[in-house]
C-alpha cells in the first residue's frame, strides 16, 4: 500500500493576504504580487517562467473559477551590482480579477516544478481549510514561506484528500497489494456500496470498536478510500484500453465516474456508522420516512418510537450524515420535525466560524471524529462533540426509554 505525503505534491508554499494594489486594477496597473522577496526560499534566484494553474474559491462550490497562465519570476535589478528586486509577474486573468482585498493567496511550488496558485475568499470555509492544511498561523500582506519537509510534512488522510479533490489535485495513493483480492472478490465490476464497505472493514487493521469508535470510523473510511481508488484505477485503465465508439460514449463514461465518486462517499460513511451502531448495541432506524416525506439518515431509538405520540420527544435523536457539509447541512433542519435539536456527523475539517455560528443558531449540533477537532478554531472546539460522546448520549436516552 502506498500512502501519500504532502511533500509528494508540494516542495514549498507561500501565503499572504491580498492588498489593494494586487486586486484593484483601477488603483494600480501592476501585474505583480507584493512582498515577495521571501519567495527566493522556494523559487530560487534565477529568472524562470512557470506554467501555472490559478484557482479562485468563493463562498461555495458554485463560486469557483479556474484558469491556466504563465508567471515569470525575475530580478528587476539583475544588472545592479549590489541590489536586487524580485518580482513575480502575471498576466491579466479571470481569477485575479475576481479576487478582493483580504482574500487568502497561496502559491505552491509543486513536485513537478509548476506553480499552483489558489485564492480563497476571506472568512469562508475554503480559507479556513487551506490555513489548516498548510498550518498557516500568522499571515499578513507579506509572504509567509515554508518548504514542505520534516515538521512541515505529513501523511495524507481522508480529510486532506477531500481538500485536494476540491483543489483539483490528482491523488496518487494506491493499495496495489489489495488489487488481486479486489479482482478476486468483485471481478470487473464495482459492487454495491454496502458490499464494498463490508470488504473494507474485513481487510482493515483490527481495531477495538468499543474503546475508540472515533479512530475506528476514520480508519475504515481511510482504508475504503484507498481500496476504491485502487480498484477504480484498474477498471478505468481496462476501459481506456478497450477504447470508446465515439465522443458521446467517452463523455457518458466520464460522468458516470464522477457521479459514482460523489455518491459513494456519503453512503460508505452511513454504512460504517450503521455497522458500528449495531456492534455497540445502539437501537436505530436508517432512512425511514418522517414528515413531508423526508428521510433522516438515522433516527434513535427507532421510527416506531418516533411515530408513537406517547413516546417522549426528549428521548428521540436524529443524526444526519454528510461526508462533507458545504451548504448542504441546512437540509437536515427540515427533517424529523419532532426533534428540535438535530445532530449532523461529518468528516469535513475546519468549517468556518461563520458556518458553525449559523449551525448553532439553528440548533444543529456538529459531530466529528475526535482527530478532526484540532482543525477547528479553539472557540469552536468547545461546542463540537465526537462520535463516542454522541453514542453515549443516544445510549443514555435509549436506557431511559
Residues recognised as catalytic: 306
Cα–Cα distance, 387 to 213 (Å, whole number): 7
Cα atoms in the Cβ-side hemisphere of radius 13 Å centred on 137: 2
Q: What angle do CA 4, 167, 377 make, to 5 degrees?
A: 85
Cα–Cα distance, 227 to 243 (Å, whole number): 24
| Cβ atoms 107, 120 nearer than 8 A | no
State the helix-helix crossing angle for 179-186 and 193-203, rounded to 10 degrees: 140
Cα–Cα distance, 221 to 233 (Å, whole number): 18
In 26-123, DSSP assigns E strands to: 48-57, 64-75, 86-90, 104-110, 115-120
Work out the widest C-alpha separation in the chain, in whole angstroms: 88
| Cβ atoms 119, 107 nearer than 8 A | no
List the grid coordinates of 142: 507579506
- Rounded to the nearest 5°, which phi and psi values hold at 30? -70, 150
Cα–Cα distance, 95 to 195 (Å, whole number): 42
Amino acid at each position: 500500500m502506498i500512502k501519500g505525503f504532502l511533500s509528494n505534491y508540494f516542495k514549498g508554499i507561500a501565503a499572504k493576504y491580498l492588498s489593494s494594489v494586487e486586486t484593484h486594477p483601477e488603483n494600480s496597473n501592476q501585474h505583480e504580487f507584493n512582498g515577495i522577496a521571501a519567495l527566493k526560499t522556494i523559487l530560487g534566484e534565477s529568472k524562470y517562467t512557470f506554467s501555472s494553474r490559478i484557482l479562485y474559491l468563493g463562498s461555495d462550490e458554485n463560486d469557483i473559477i479556474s484558469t491556466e497562465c504563465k508567471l515569470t519570476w525575475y530580478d528587476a535589478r539583475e544588472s545592479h551590482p549590489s541590489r536586487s528586486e524580485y518580482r513575480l509577474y502575471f498576466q491579466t486573468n479571470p481569477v485575479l480579477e475576481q479576487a478582493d482585498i483580504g482574500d487568502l493567496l497561496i502559491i505552491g511550488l509543486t513536485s513537478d516544478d509548476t506553480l499552483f496558485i489558489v485564492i480563497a475568499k476571506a472568512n469562508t470555509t475554503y480559507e479556513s481549510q487551506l490555513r489548516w492544511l498548510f498550518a498557516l498561523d500568522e499571515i499578513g500582506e507579506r509572504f509567509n514561506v515554508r518548504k514542505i519537509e520534516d515538521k512541515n510534512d505529513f501523511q495524507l488522510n481522508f480529510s486532506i484528500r477531500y481538500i485536494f479533490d476540491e483543489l483539483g489535485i490528482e491523488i496518487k495513493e494506491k493499495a496495489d497489494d489489495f488489487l488481486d483480492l479486489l479482482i478476486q472478490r468483485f471481478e470487473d465490476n464495482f459492487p454495491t456500496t454496502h458490499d464494498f464497505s463490508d470488504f473494507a472493514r474485513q481487510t482493515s487493521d483490527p481495531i477495538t470498536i468499543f474503546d475508540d469508535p472515533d479512530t475506528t470510523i476514520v480508519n475504515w473510511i481511510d482504508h475504503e478510500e484507498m481500496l476504491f481508488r485502487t480498484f477504480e484505477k484498474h477498471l478505468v485503465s481496462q476501459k481506456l484500453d478497450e477504447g470508446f465508439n465515439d465522443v458521446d460514449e467517452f463523455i457518458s463514461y466520464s460522468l458516470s465516474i464522477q457521479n459514482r465518486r460523489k455518491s459513494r462517499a456519503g453512503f460508505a460513511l452511513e454504512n460504517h456508522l450503521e455497522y458500528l451502531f449495531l456492534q455497540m448495541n445502539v437501537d436505530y432506524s436508517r432512512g425511514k420516512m418522517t414528515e413531508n416525506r423526508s428521510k433522516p439518515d438515522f433516527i434513535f431509538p427507532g421510527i416506531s418510537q418516533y411515530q408513537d405520540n406517547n413516546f417522549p420527544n426528549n428521548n428521540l435523536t436524529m443524526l444526519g450524515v454528510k461526508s462533507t457539509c458545504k451548504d448542504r447541512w441546512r437540509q437536515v433542519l427540515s427533517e424529523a420535525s419532532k426533534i428540535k435539536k438535530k445532530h449532523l456527523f461529518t468528516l469535513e475539517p475546519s468549517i468556518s466560524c461563520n458556518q458553525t455560528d449559523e449551525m448553532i443558531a439553528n440548533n444543529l449540533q456538529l459531530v466529528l471524529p475526535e482527530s478532526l477537532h484540532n482543525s477547528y478554531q479553539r472557540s469552536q472546539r468547545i461546542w463540537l462533540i465526537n462520535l463516542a460522546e454522541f453514542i453515549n448520549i443516544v445510549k443514555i436516552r435509549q436506557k431511559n426509554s
